[in-house]
Amino acid sequence: MDVTGTPIAMIGVREVWQHYSIESEGHQEDSATDNNGYVVFPPRKIRANLLMRIGKPLEKVLNAHASFGPVAYLIVLGNDSTITTNNTYSAGQSLPTEVLLKKSNK
């Protein structure tokens, strides 16, 4: 929705996600909002054997700049003059139920 609370229909949205503790590369999927401004992405699950679940986190501990755990965020596509807020999920947080688009001051 925009700052006035109006849903933004048919705008592209990209979900980006990665489980930093056990994956070395991220994933992404594009979709678009419906006429009411909603977009739904499926739940994300990862499978990893015991070696990966132990070895990757140990590797990350040795790298002082490493990230840990699952992270996901949304990017609104097709409009370079917008800023999104409340668009990130980290482990232990509630999922955002809405994303607000604001015009940037460019």
| 31 — pLDDT class (breaks 50, 70, 90) | very high
Q: What is the pLDDT of residues 47-85, one digit of tens each?
A: 777 776 666 666 655 665 556 678 888 888 866 656 566
Length of the chain: 106
Please count the other Cβ atoms lying within 10 Å of the Cβ belonging to residue 19.
Answer: 20
Contact 10, 35 (CB under 8 A): yes
Q: Tell me which of 58 and 23 has the higher pLDDT.
A: 23
Strands of the chain, DSSP E: 12-19, 27-32, 70-76, 82-85, 88-90, 100-103
- pLDDT exceeds cutoff 90 at 86: no
Given this model, what pLDDT does residue 56 score? 62
pTM over 0.75: no
Q: Is 55 helix (H, G, I), strand (E, B) or coil?
A: helix
What is the residue-wise DSSP string for 70-84?
Answer: EEEEEEE-S-TTEEE
